[in-house]
Each structure stands twice: as structure tokens, then as C-alpha cells.
Chains A and B, each alone.
Chain A
């Protein structure tokens, strides 16, 4: 049932794809069968992932168009602005995004626009459907009235409930996209750790029913601990392990805390919105004196570096003293011109301080790049510089550190050889989507999964679908 040629015969349909079950592969295979398919997903990272998979499978680029739902709607809504009435610029608020999606759906009511869609695509595939909101769903319905549309998603990975992705599968999605089947081959763990894949699949079923999960299962590693900051959970046994690592916790402050406590052994990564970087840019742009600018840098510094205490009997390293005086000299330059040249030197030099451990390297690196943009005169304010740096990241995708600590929201869609979940009991304290968050966290792991918790049994509320 879930082979590409069968799926293509279905017309409009929904395919449930649990994590790691070969969904992207199937999407690529279906796309390769037709004249030209449109694949829509939610993030630029998703677009990159699908494009590179297409390339690997040798699907000719003219046979498939890959875009984000937002990007596609921007294109169509602005091509037919009279009927779509899109917001003038890139939408900023939820309401503006909704206006964009509804507008694109309205444009699809015009017969000439429908003809364009028919001429452009013979198949539409929408990925990560569980992340769709109401406006995106109306758009999908409008598209499915023109060209056969297949949607792919996993109700168990619908963790954007807080952001309005609360479509009900049975009452809202399936009437337009009847359920065609669920992918049931856990490809992700083949040749790596099939037993782990099995445990994750079993756990998925139990989570859907709200059943208790036994963490003391031989297929995973369980540590009894009620402390999220128990470093043993993070580091025990990693010496013998190859590959990528991720520690996953729902609370981003705790993630930063973990990164700090691990002295950069795990790096925290930044949200797409890059709140802290923008905060730095705003503080910088408001400052006109060397002193205020230094404050802005110091503020950022304290969120990126952990200073190691001096061990007993240790004296100040002569290198460190030299570094201090060099930094002091640079500080003077912060008051010269826009101060960016000095700031660039300051940030670069600070990385080299031996007793200071960087634990938010992405944030620090982006700050360095932004400061350089400003120093080179390619941006007029720090906020502009930050905007263009983040745009670049969003377009080209980011490279993850070897060991990452972050939230299920940020790590969704990625996979890691080894995953650690510190203090699993915290999932029960989340206000929404507890079971889904837990499933997303555990299903990132391909080779080993370590979970610490105060109790070997964990029970989470039945999730909303």
C-alpha cells in the first residue's frame, strides 16, 4: 500500500510517517514518477533536506519543485495580489501569515490561476503536515481540488500545538485527505541499532494510548536520577562512542544551563528567531559610548562563556594577564567610529582565553560575523547585520556541533547517533503535547539512547490528534 506507484494512484490521501520510516525517500520516489511534482514543507532546512535527497536519487531538477509553504504562498499571492491581498512585506505576525495563506487559497479559486497550477504540477506532496495551521490547511485543500495531493505527517510529532498547529486528524484532515496507510519499516535504525528502533516504535504506540513506559528496558540505557544537571548522564560512556551526540530537554534555559555546566562539552544552539543575538544588536545600536558598547558585549559574553574557577594553589596564567591587557587596549577602540572594528577584534580574541569555555558557539560566531559585517560597512546597523547573517543561516542550513544540547522543537527532523534525555520526568510538567515532545526526543536517536529519571516508569497524558 505504501509503495510509490500505489500511492500515486490514490488521488488525495494522507500517509502517516513515524520518525525514521523512510518518508523522504518515498516522497522522492513519488516525485520521480510524474512530469513535475511540487513538494511543500515548512522550513528551509526541510527544503534543503528534500533537495539533497532528490539529487542523491538522481531525480532531475526539472521534475520537482521544492519550496516552503510560506515561500510558495509568497510567490503566488504576490503574483496575483488583487485577489490574494497579501501583506505588503514578509509577514511578521501570526495574523499576517494567516492572511498570506488564506490569500493564496483565494487566488486558487480563480480559474486562470488553477490552470497555471495544473500546467505546472501533476502531483503535490506536502510534508510535515502535523505542523500545519488552519490557513495552511485551507491552502492544501484548495490545491487538492486542482491537482492530486498527498500529505505526509506524523500526529505524534505535532509539537507545534502552542503555535496553533492543532488540526484534528480525524475530523479536519482525513475528510479531505483520507488515510492511505502508515509507513511501517523503521529504516533509520537498519544496520545501526534495530532493537532501539523497535523500542521507539513500541513506545510510540504506548504514548499514543497514554500507557506507562518502562525506561529500564535493555534496549536503552536508564539512569536513576532526579537531577537534570547530573553530568554523569551527559558524559558517562561517551569516550568509546563515535558519531554525533544530542542532549534533549524541553526547557531552553535548562539547555543553556546544561551547556554551561558541561563547560561547552555540549553546545547550545540558537532558535531561528535568534532572540539573544537580536537583543545584543539592539543594545549595541542604542549605545554610542565605548562603555555602553562594552556592556553590550559583556552581556553577551556572560551568556556564551563559562569561566573556570582557579584550582587551588593555581595563580593567574601569564598568558591570561597578557590577554587582559590586550583586551583593555581594544576596549578603547570601541569608542572610535561605530566601534565595530574594535568589537570584531575583541570577540575574536576572547575566544582564545584559556580559562573561558564557550558553550553557545553558534551565538558567539553569529555575533562575530555580524560585527564584521558592520566593520566592513556592509550593514549600517548591528540589527541589519544580524538580520542578513541569520538570513544566510536560514537559507544555507546550519552545521551542528559534535555534541548539541537543545529542545525537541529545535532538533525535530534531525537525527543523532547518541541521544541523552536528562531528567525525563520534566516532560510531564510541560503544559502541552507532553507525549509528542517525548516521542520527538527519543526518536532522534539512531544508535544509543540514554534516559535519566527519578523513576523507571513514566506516564504521559494521551496526546491530542
Chain B
């Protein structure tokens, strides 16, 4: 089963949402309170076989005068759903262009539309919508169970025991024997129940272990059914999965969640719809990657085998998860204020996000993203970022939802544009030695993306050195020598400046003017060109500050240089970027 279209209105923090997911693996991201969990909750309320009790607070602004309406159109229908014994005659058509038609035509995919309505009576009504039928068909919880929904939220230990309606009992098939054995166990003063001797329970436990391992849950010993005493009364719910004698309920959060997900997912043969809240919860980065890779791999394999693929919707705040999920699964949710119109957007050109996901995926969790051209710029701003709070009531930029991202050089412009299209506030911080084309400028202007650059053909190194006093230049050279070694720096400079040898260079920058025909300005240009490795073949390039750490180490010097020369292009540009980040 796959979600083709979801409409939500008047539910919790969402006034309206109309979303047509285009990918079978969706990673929903967005700033806090943007409606991620509400979307998953809405889908669960609509498709889960559980009964939901609604209260006033489930209505937008607690206003019960307008009903909650949640509607979803489901494709990739199972055979059971499509049978005319069930809902075959209610199918609607989903066109290849992604539009809904009440009656299918041509090669439309058969889909079903479900609607959940809750009005002031708080009585939820689930219906199948089909305009050409006179009356909508009410759906029972049994009917809804056919849509194969799995939700992994918070800490849910329900699925780790053989309770009524649990996934484990479905995997087991018949639990009569277990019930009889339980009664017996109760009579023998809760002596050893020897549940592991019941073949069906043992088999289900073994299957569960396999699924859980597949997703990366840690298994200490092996999974087996065991009795959890201490509850009131004895029922099938008292049999719980144990791992090496310890109830799985007590295993690490991550393993427990992965086991729960694996077990639920395995119980649905035909393409489950899987909702996962914050997949990273309780998992180390490598296990996040493992779990996502497994879920995606399952989908790829199902597609290759021509089996139903199902649908995965997950939310995350983890850049590891986002990086592994990949640019094609990227879905950004946004809810406007105060009218609370929610929208979910996907990149028109996902490939523009590949470098972002590789270098700074965390930026996507911000509202406002400053895309920097290269390592030096990213490093420099990250360093300066530590100085800014003193000027802004001790608040870091993160409190304003701002982030600094690496634009990977030439891709920075496209990335900033793509972010703007996704609904982020984005800006570009770049050198001016390689000017933007007229076309790029026009696009950036149209998208409202500010560009912070020094102007006058200045690149970062040149902007810094040009603004620096002699003493500051000397400080910077000294810093470079400490980082790169005296010989490397001095030989570089001597090779560049004809009338200065290594000894003269080591005398200090304030003496250079006396020994060289070049004036101060020319000497600064020369140093900058060497520092940036300008005019060198690629293989010979050895720029001084081109990595994030080195860039970042420049920050204290640059901070002082800018303070000394507040009117310099360097200071003006940095101030503009700072102002934008704090806006």
C-alpha cells in the first residue's frame, strides 16, 4: 500500500494540508512545531485499526465548530482490498499524471479514498469515499486493518508480548495451547511455564529475532517466549519476548524500537505503510544508518522482485539519518503562521542537495541557511559565530533557527536557490573574484536570496589582507607559519615576491616595504595570491587556509581586522551576513 494523496483539515496544529507524496520513502523534516508528528498522527488515526478517542484539543485551536477531516487516497492496493468482496467496486483512478478521478479510466491505477471525520460529538466516522456510489461505505476496524499500517512512535512495548491482537500472536497463529499452558502454569504456583517448549511460540520468537537482527537490533542471547509475572492475572499478554532470559521490554531503547518495528513490519505481507517518529531515537549513528539502509534495501528488493513496495514515512532530527535517507527522500514540511496552512515540499532538483547532504545535512533542520562558497568561508563564519553572541544578548545564531552550510564551491548558488524553493530563507556568502552570471543574479534576486560578497573582485584572503594593518598582517603570517611551518610559508612568499628573499621575509611585514619595490597594497595582494594559491596549476595548489579548521582559526584575527576597519569591504560584508543570520 502506498499513500497517493493526503488531505488534513482542522486537525491539531494544521488548518489544511494537501500533500501528494511522490516517493515511496519519505523523510519528513522541518523545524520544531512544523507539523511533522501531526501528519503522522493524522495518517495513523485514519488508517490504523485502533479506535481513537478524540478530545477538544485535537481540533485546531480547540474549536469544535468545524470538523476534523482526514482523507487519504491509497494506491498499490493488496489483492484483498481490490476484491469485489471488499472494496473492488469502490476503486477510483489515479492517473499517470498524479491526479484523482472518481471513476478509473484507461490505465489509471486503482486507488481507494478513505476519510475520517470527527465533529463536535467527538465520534469518529471512518468511510470509504466514492462519489459514484450513492452512500459512502463505513469502515470497521477490521476493514482498516487491511491497509497495513505500522506506526513506531515513542516507547511501545505492546508488540513485544503475545497480547490479544499483537503482532506476535498473529505470527504465532494459534495461541490456544499457550492459554491452556498458562492456566496450568498459574495452578502450579507460577512454576516454570516451559513456554519455550511450545513450538509455535518458539518459532514466532525465532522469526522475530531474525527480523530484529535484520534491522540492527542487538541480540544478546536469543529471543524466546518467557513469562512476565507481577501483573494482575495471567493472560497471553503475560508471555513476552525475552532475550537471553531478560524481557526485551528492558533492552536498550534502540534495540527495543528496532525489534518492535521489525516484528510489526514482518506481519504485513503486502507492502506495509510504515510511520516512524524520529528513527534515530536511542540509536548510535552507525545503527541509524544500518536501520535506514535495511528499510530502503527491503523496498529496493521488493521492487526488483515485483512485490508491493509499501510506503515509509519517517521524521528525523538526525543529520546522519537524513544523509543516509538521501536527497530523493527529502520532504520539507512548513506550517504558516498564524493561518496554519501546512505544506510539504520536495526539491525540484534533488541533485542540488547532494553536496549539502554530504557536507552539512544539519543545516536542513534550520529555518534560515547561509550557504558559503567553500571551506575557508564556512570555517571563517563558524569561527566568527562564537564572537557574535556578545553583540546579540548572548544568543547564538541557532536560537534564531539559522545555520551555516557548505556550498561546495561552484554549487553554492544552485544550492541556495534550491533551498529557497523548498521554503527556506537562504543567502549566499561568496568571493567576488569569479562574478555571478547575469542569469544567476537574476534568479537569486527573483528568489529573494541575498548575496554577501566583498565586491571589487576581492576573494576572502585578499579581502582580509587588504583590510589588515601591518601589525595584523604580521599576526596572520605568524599564524600561518605556526600552522604550515616557517619554511613552507616563507619559501612560498619568496618565490612570489622577486625582490625579497627568505631572510628579508622573516624580518617582519613592516620591514618589507623598505626592501621591496612593491608598496604595501601590492605586497598584500602578493601575500593573498600566495595564501589562496592563485594562478597555480591545480596540482601545485597549496592554499594556506582552505579547510574548515584552518578557516575557523582565522576568525579571531579577522574579528580584530574587521573591528579595526569597519568600513572595509571585509567588515561590511561580514556585518551584513551577521545581520541576516540574526534577523
Q: Which residues of A contact B (CB under 8 A)?
A: 36, 62, 65, 75-76, 79-83, 110-113, 115-120
A115 vs B89: C-alpha distance when bound (angstroms): 11
B91 partner residues in chain A, CB cutoff 8 A:
112-113, 115-116
A306 vs B90: C-alpha distance when bound (angstroms): 56
B132 partner residues in chain A, CB cutoff 8 A:
79-82
A118 partner residues in chain B, CB cutoff 8 A:
79, 82
A116 partner residues in chain B, CB cutoff 8 A:
82-84, 88-89, 91, 110
Q: Smallest distance from the beta carbon of B31 to chain A beta carbons, Å?
A: 40
Using A81-B103, A112-B104, A119-B82 as known contacts, say yes or no to A75 and B89 having CB atoms under 8 A apart: yes
A395 vs B135: C-alpha distance when bound (angstroms): 25
B105 proximal to A (CB < 8 A): yes
Using A116-B84, A120-B84, A120-B88 as known contacts, say yes or no to A80 and B107 having CB atoms under 8 A apart: no
Do B108 and A112 touch across chains, with their CB atoms under 8 A apart?
yes
Nearest 10 Cβ contacts at the A-B interface: A112-B104, A119-B82, A79-B89, A112-B110, A116-B88, A82-B103, A120-B84, A119-B79, A120-B83, A119-B83
A62 vs B84: C-alpha distance when bound (angstroms): 12
Q: Smallest distance from the beta carbon of B335 to chain A beta carbons, Å?
A: 35
Q: Smallest distance from the beta carbon of B452 to chain A beta carbons, Å?
A: 54
Do A111 and B108 touch across chains, with their CB atoms under 8 A apart?
yes
A21 vs B24: C-alpha distance when bound (angstroms): 55
> Could you mark each residue 65-97 of chain B with 1 if its beta carbon is under 8 Å from any beta carbon of chain A, else 0?
000000000000101111111001111010000
A113 vs B84: C-alpha distance when bound (angstroms): 10
Q: How would you classify the secondary structure of chain B's contact residues: helix, strand, loop or mixed? A: loop
A450 vs B27: C-alpha distance when bound (angstroms): 82
Q: Which residues of B contact A (CB under 8 A)?
A: 77, 79-85, 88-91, 93, 103-110, 132-133
Q: Smallest distance from the beta carbon of A67 to chain B beta carbons, Å?
A: 10
Given A110-B93, A116-B89, 18 other A-B residues pairs in contact with their CB atoms under 8 A: A75-B89, A79-B90, A79-B132, A80-B89, A80-B104, A82-B105, A83-B105, A110-B104, A110-B105, A111-B104, A111-B108, A112-B91, A112-B93, A112-B109, A116-B88, A118-B82, A120-B83, A120-B85
A115 vs B87: C-alpha distance when bound (angstroms): 12
A82 vs B130: C-alpha distance when bound (angstroms): 13
B108 partner residues in chain A, CB cutoff 8 A:
110-112
* 27 residue pairs bridging A and B, Cβ less than 8 Å apart: A62-B85, A65-B84, A75-B84, A76-B89, A79-B132, A80-B103, A81-B103, A82-B103, A82-B105, A83-B105, A110-B108, A111-B106, A111-B108, A112-B91, A112-B109, A115-B82, A116-B88, A116-B89, A116-B91, A116-B110, A117-B84, A119-B80, A119-B83, A119-B88, A120-B82, A120-B83, A120-B85
A181 vs B492: C-alpha distance when bound (angstroms): 98
A36 partner residues in chain B, CB cutoff 8 A:
83, 85
With CB as the reference atom, state the residue of chain A lying closest to B111: A112
B103 partner residues in chain A, CB cutoff 8 A:
80-83
A120 vs B106: C-alpha distance when bound (angstroms): 20
A116 vs B82: C-alpha distance when bound (angstroms): 5
A312 vs B106: C-alpha distance when bound (angstroms): 81
B107 partner residues in chain A, CB cutoff 8 A:
111
A32 vs B408: C-alpha distance when bound (angstroms): 66
A36 vs B82: C-alpha distance when bound (angstroms): 13
Q: Smallest distance from the beta carbon of A143 to chain B beta carbons, Å?
A: 13
B88 partner residues in chain A, CB cutoff 8 A:
116, 119-120
Q: Smallest distance from the beta carbon of B65 to chain A beta carbons, Å?
A: 36
Q: How would you classify the secondary structure of chain A's contact residues: helix, strand, loop or mixed? A: helix
A283 vs B354: C-alpha distance when bound (angstroms): 85
A79 vs B85: C-alpha distance when bound (angstroms): 13
A82 partner residues in chain B, CB cutoff 8 A:
103, 105, 132
Most A CB contacts (10 A, CB to CB) among B79, B84, B85 go to B84
A110 vs B105: C-alpha distance when bound (angstroms): 6
Q: Smallest distance from the beta carbon of B96 to chain A beta carbons, Å?
A: 11
A80 partner residues in chain B, CB cutoff 8 A:
89, 103-104, 132
A76 partner residues in chain B, CB cutoff 8 A:
89
With CB as the reference atom, state the residue of chain A lying closest to B91: A112
Q: Smallest distance from the beta carbon of B551 to chain A beta carbons, Å?
A: 58
Q: Smallest distance from the beta carbon of A271 to chain B beta carbons, Å?
A: 32
A244 vs B390: C-alpha distance when bound (angstroms): 109
Q: Smallest distance from the beta carbon of B5 to chain A beta carbons, Å?
A: 16
A65 vs B81: C-alpha distance when bound (angstroms): 17
Do B110 and A115 touch across chains, with their CB atoms under 8 A apart?
yes
A112 vs B106: C-alpha distance when bound (angstroms): 8
Q: Smallest distance from the beta carbon of A63 to chain B beta carbons, Å?
A: 11
A113 vs B82: C-alpha distance when bound (angstroms): 9
A64 vs B132: C-alpha distance when bound (angstroms): 27
A442 vs B314: C-alpha distance when bound (angstroms): 73
With CB as the reference atom, state the residue of chain B lying closest to A111: B107
A97 vs B103: C-alpha distance when bound (angstroms): 22
Do A113 and B104 touch across chains, with their CB atoms under 8 A apart?
yes
A444 vs B167: C-alpha distance when bound (angstroms): 57
A321 vs B461: C-alpha distance when bound (angstroms): 132
A75 vs B90: C-alpha distance when bound (angstroms): 11
A81 vs B133: C-alpha distance when bound (angstroms): 10
B90 partner residues in chain A, CB cutoff 8 A:
79
With CB as the reference atom, state the residue of chain B lying closest to A110: B104
B84 partner residues in chain A, CB cutoff 8 A:
65, 75, 116-117, 119-120
Q: Smallest distance from the beta carbon of A176 to chain B beta carbons, Å?
A: 23
With CB as the reference atom, state the residue of chain A lying closest to B109: A112
Q: Smallest distance from the beta carbon of A18 to chain B beta carbons, Å?
A: 33
Q: Smallest distance from the beta carbon of B95 to chain A beta carbons, Å?
A: 11
B110 partner residues in chain A, CB cutoff 8 A:
112-113, 115-116
A111 vs B84: C-alpha distance when bound (angstroms): 15
Q: Smallest distance from the beta carbon of A87 to chain B beta carbons, Å?
A: 16
A75 partner residues in chain B, CB cutoff 8 A:
84, 89
Q: Smallest distance from the beta carbon of B126 to chain A beta carbons, Å?
A: 21
A361 vs B107: C-alpha distance when bound (angstroms): 55
With CB as the reference atom, state the residue of chain A lying closest to B90: A79
Q: Smallest distance from the beta carbon of A77 to chain B beta carbons, Å?
A: 11
A91 vs B204: C-alpha distance when bound (angstroms): 55
Most B CB contacts (10 A, CB to CB) among A62, A79, A119 go to A119
A365 vs B81: C-alpha distance when bound (angstroms): 46
A62 vs B86: C-alpha distance when bound (angstroms): 12
B106 partner residues in chain A, CB cutoff 8 A:
110-111
Q: Smallest distance from the beta carbon of B463 to chain A beta carbons, Å?
A: 63
A62 partner residues in chain B, CB cutoff 8 A:
85
With CB as the reference atom, state the residue of chain B lying closest to A116: B88
B82 partner residues in chain A, CB cutoff 8 A:
115-116, 118-120
Q: Smallest distance from the beta carbon of A111 to chain B beta carbons, Å?
A: 5
With CB as the reference atom, state the residue of chain A lying closest to B132: A81
B85 partner residues in chain A, CB cutoff 8 A:
36, 62, 65, 120
A110 partner residues in chain B, CB cutoff 8 A:
93, 104-106, 108
A25 vs B374: C-alpha distance when bound (angstroms): 81
A275 vs B410: C-alpha distance when bound (angstroms): 89
A117 vs B85: C-alpha distance when bound (angstroms): 11
A79 vs B82: C-alpha distance when bound (angstroms): 13
A36 vs B77: C-alpha distance when bound (angstroms): 18
With CB as the reference atom, state the residue of chain B lying closest to A84: B103
With CB as the reference atom, state the residue of chain B lying closest to A80: B103
Most B CB contacts (10 A, CB to CB) among A80, A82, A116 go to A116
A76 vs B90: C-alpha distance when bound (angstroms): 10
Q: Smallest distance from the beta carbon of B157 to chain A beta carbons, Å?
A: 36
A193 vs B88: C-alpha distance when bound (angstroms): 48
With CB as the reference atom, state the residue of chain A lying closest to B89: A79
A115 vs B92: C-alpha distance when bound (angstroms): 12
With CB as the reference atom, state the residue of chain A lying closest to B80: A119
A118 vs B81: C-alpha distance when bound (angstroms): 12
A112 partner residues in chain B, CB cutoff 8 A:
91, 93, 104, 108-110
A81 partner residues in chain B, CB cutoff 8 A:
103, 132
Most A CB contacts (10 A, CB to CB) among B83, B107, B132 go to B83
A404 vs B90: C-alpha distance when bound (angstroms): 46
Most A CB contacts (10 A, CB to CB) among B82, B104, B108 go to B104
A113 partner residues in chain B, CB cutoff 8 A:
91, 104, 110
A332 vs B93: C-alpha distance when bound (angstroms): 64
B93 partner residues in chain A, CB cutoff 8 A:
110, 112
